[in-house]
């Protein structure tokens, strides 16, 4: 029997299937989801010879420890991640942005992400997944997506239905950098805040709170005073929106965010900074820096060109 | 034409239909939502209608704010764009185990619970928007005397099917979820069916909804 699968020895903290996410469903309350760090997601797929919307496993902090059963397969891990591959009695030190071959009974232990939150595991094959609304992306809070909308659990099996037999030997030199200044465009309720509050937002440092997940990132710092109204009529949200809740602290909407919300929007993180934003670990200190729409568009073009150029080097 | 369009970040249009929240404004929002959606504009990712806003997010690789604004500026609503309101009757059981906050409402509103229910079940509601959690309809408008604030401390888990009231709105919890609305009953009807590839939500913006009180026996033996 030609059955290929991973056995999960340890599931990790929040390991889920992700792809590019799902569109056109905000109006019924279903968020975008998808890989948090788009660049690292794309690179993982390219390193294993996949197309750009191929399901991968995303993990946060501690990744899964997997035992492989089946015919040889290529894998690649992207992000800032420590991992090992156990081949019988041999221990191979894992390197990110490089393809490896797993053979029957090899173990892949994704120990942890280092100075970042998310990492990606791609395989030169196709996970056997049930898609929901044209995407495997898993939103564990709403139980949407593959694996019944749940994160991976220990002792579970991950079946692989197809393996690409063209083995690759790919490698890329790339180092993730950490962002300190998050660039934002002023939000639609920027004027709800006191002059002092606006100054705090752009001049003071904020600390990423432990209460951060795929839905949102909470920040701690000096309170931002609202002088107008702490609630607005509920309206649509997009990822990157920074709302200030009644307690005066900012919360940034991330990929699994609720589709509508009723807190004033002080700013929106520019698209070029989103991948690096999501990688900020709790305790990181950040500042917000204002840019205008034109600059944000140019910065995104540059960011996208850089991503494309990295992909083309593989 | 939508008069007031600004940018929300670098990848969304923020269309403002005015401060007033009423059916007339919301109907305009919904008409534009439906018309824009039908056009399948290249690069548009999501369109989110709410009471008085429409947010259109897009893929910055394919289109940008100024280009999309030009397209949207040229969209006119014609008389033929009337929305078809579907009508729904939602069965609700108000037994004590389901009406978690009815006593709190009696106290805050200073109205006997039978009167609260009488008012609630007489009302025909209008669906302003769906969202927050998948398929949750925001229905209005409750009479002035039934309007209460949300709970001071939201519940960690509101049971699936719960009917909640806050301010002038009623909603239905399509999943078990955290929430702070005043719960007055529960429906056995599945409002959101995530096994459906198309139209998983029962109630859409613009639809009309009434509630019908059912006994516990009916609730338990309910088949769709």
Structural domains of chain A, ranges and CATH numbers in brackets: 4-163 (no CATH), 181-313 (2.40.100.10)
* Topology match between the domains B4-81 and B87-220: no
- What value of ipTM does the predicted structure carry? 0.95
Contact status of A158 with chain B (Cβ, < 8 Å): no
Q: Which residues contact A225 (CB under 8 A, 6 or more apart)?
A: A193, A194, A196, A197, A248
Q: With bands split at pLDDT 50, 70 and 90, how would you rate the model's confidence at A22?
A: very high
CB atoms inside a 10 Å sphere around CB B61: 13
Closest by Cβ to A300, choosing from B10, B37, B194: B10
Closest by Cβ to A271, choosing from B14, B60, B132: B60
Q: Which of the listed CATH numbers 3.90.1150.10, 3.40.50.150, 3.30.1360.40, 3.30.750.24 matches domain B4-81?
A: 3.30.1360.40
Of B129, B111, B103, B90, nearest to B209 (Cα)? B90
Query: Over the Cα atoms of chain A, what is R_g?
Result: 20
Considering only CB atoms, which chain B residues are within 8 Å of A30?
A: 134
Using CA atoms, how far apart are residues B32 and B49, in angstroms rounded to an integer? 9
Indicate whether B127 pLDDT > 80. Answer: yes
pTM for this prediction: 0.94
Max CA separation in chain A (angstroms): 70
Residue of A nearest to B195 (CA): A132
Using CA atoms, how far apart are residues A314 and A98, in angstroms rounded to an integer? 10
Give residues 91 to 130 of B whose Cβ lies within 8 Å of A: 129-130
Ordered DSSP codes for A109-127: EEEEESSSSEEEEEESEEE
Mean per-residue pLDDT, B38-55: 96
Contact B194 A144 (CB under 8 A): yes
pLDDT at residue number B37 = 94
pLDDT at residue number B80 = 66
Using CA atoms, how far apart are residues A92 and A81, in angstroms rounded to an integer? 14
CB atoms inside a 10 Å sphere around CB A148: 11
Contact status of A300 with chain B (Cβ, < 8 Å): yes
A307: phi then psi, degrees, rounded to nearest 5: -60, -45
For domain B87-220, give the CATH number. Answer: 2.40.100.10
* CA distances (Å), origin B9, targets A198, A199, B184: 17, 19, 39
Mean pLDDT over all residues of chain A?
96
Contact B10 A260 (CB under 8 A): no
**Parallel/antiparallel/unpaired status of strands A181-186 and A285-290:** parallel
C-alpha angle A23-A27-A30 in degrees, rounded to nearest 5: 55
pLDDT at residue number B81 = 66
Q: Which residues contact A107 (CB under 8 A, 6 or more apart)?
A: A9, A65, A66, A67, A68, A85, A86
pLDDT at residue number B194 = 86
pLDDT at residue number A168 = 83
Q: Report percent pLDDT > 90 for chain B.
A: 81
- CA-based torsion, A221, A224, A229, A232: positive or negative: negative
| Shortest Cα–Cα distance, B40 to chain A (Å) | 10
Q: Report percent pLDDT > 90 for chain A.
A: 93
What single-letter DSSP state applies at residue A171? B
Q: With bands split at pLDDT 50, 70 and 90, how would you rate the model's confidence at A165?
A: confident
Q: What is the pLDDT of residues B10-45, one digit of tens each?
A: 999 999 999 888 899 999 999 999 999 999 999 999
Q: With bands split at pLDDT 50, 70 and 90, how would you rate the model's confidence at A2?
A: low
Q: Find how far residue B169's CA is from the centre of its chain.
A: 9
Indicate whether B84 pLDDT > 90. Answer: no
Q: What is the pLDDT of residues A91-122, one digit of tens each?
A: 999 999 999 999 999 999 999 999 999 999 99
Using CA atoms, how far apart are residues B193 and B202, in angstroms rounded to an integer? 8
Contact status of B60 with chain A (Cβ, < 8 Å): yes
Q: Which residues contact A179 (CB under 8 A, 6 or more apart)?
A: A273, A276, A277, A279, A280, A286
Domain boundaries along the sequence of chain B = 4-81, 87-220
């Amino acid at each position: 029997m030609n059955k290929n699968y991973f056995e999960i020895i340890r599931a990790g903290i929040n390991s889920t299937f992700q792809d590019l996410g799902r569109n056109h469903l905000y109006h019924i309350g279903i968020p975008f989801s998808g890989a948090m760090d788009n660049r690292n997601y794309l690179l993982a797929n390219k390193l294993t010879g996949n197309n750009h919307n191929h399901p991968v496993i995303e993990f946060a902090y501690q990744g899964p420890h997997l035992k492989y059963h089946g015919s040889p397969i290529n894998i690649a891990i992207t992000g800032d991640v420590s991992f090992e591959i156990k081949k019988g009695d041999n221990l191979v030190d894992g390197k990110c942005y490089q393809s490896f071959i797993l053979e029957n009974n090899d173990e892949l232990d994704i120990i942890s992400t280092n100075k970042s939150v998310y990492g990606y595991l791609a395989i030169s094959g196709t996970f056997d997944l049930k898609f929901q609304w044209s995407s495997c992306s898993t939103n564990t809070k709403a139980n949407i997506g593959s694996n019944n909308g749940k994160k991976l659990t220990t002792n579970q099996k991950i079946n692989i239905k197809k393996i690409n037999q063209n083995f690759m030997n790919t490698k890329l030199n790339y180092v993730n950098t950490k962002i300190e200044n998050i660039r934002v465009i002023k939000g639609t309720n920027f004027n709800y805040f006191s002059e002092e509050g606006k100054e705090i937002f752009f001049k003071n440092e904020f600390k990423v709170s432990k209460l951060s997940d795929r839905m949102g990132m909470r920040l701690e710092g000096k309170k931002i005073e609202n002088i107008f109204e702490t609630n607005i009529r509920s309206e649509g949200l997009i990822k990157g929106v920074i709302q200030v809740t009644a307690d005066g602290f900012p919360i940034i909407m991330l990929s699994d965010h609720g589709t509508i919300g009723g807190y004033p929007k002080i700013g929106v993180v520019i698209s070029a900074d989103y991948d690096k934003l999501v990688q900020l670990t709790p305790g990181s200190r950040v500042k917000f820096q204002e840019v205008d729409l034109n600059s944000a568009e140019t910065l995104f073009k540059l960011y996208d060109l850089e991503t494309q150029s990295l992909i083309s080097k593989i | 034409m939508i008069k007031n369009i600004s940018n929300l970040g670098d990848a969304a249009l923020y269309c403002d239909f005015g401060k007033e929240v009423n059916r007339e404004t919301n109907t305009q929002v919904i008409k534009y939502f439906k018309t824009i959606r039908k056009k399948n504009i290249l690069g548009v990712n999501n369109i989110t209608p709410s009471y008085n806003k429409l947010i259109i997010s897009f893929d910055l690789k394919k289109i940008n704010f100024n280009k999309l604004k030009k397209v949207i500026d040229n969209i006119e609503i014609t008389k033929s764009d009337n929305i078809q309101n579907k009508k729904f009757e939602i069965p609700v059981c108000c037994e004590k185990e389901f009406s978690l906050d009815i006593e709190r409402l009696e106290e805050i509103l200073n109205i006997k619970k039978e009167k609260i229910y009488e008012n609630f079940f007489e009302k025909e509601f209008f669906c302003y928007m769906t969202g927050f959690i998948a398929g949750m309809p925001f229905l209005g408008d409750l009479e002035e005397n039934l309007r209460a604030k949300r709970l001071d401390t939201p519940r960690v888990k509101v049971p699936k099917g719960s009917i909640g009231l806050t301010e002038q709105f009623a909603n239905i919890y399509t999943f078990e979820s955290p929430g702070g609305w005043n719960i007055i009953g529960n429906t056995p009807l599945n409002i959101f069916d995530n096994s459906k590839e198309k139209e998983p939500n029962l109630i859409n913006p613009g639809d009309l909804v009434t509630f019908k009180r059912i006994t516990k026996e009916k609730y338990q033996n309910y088949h769709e």
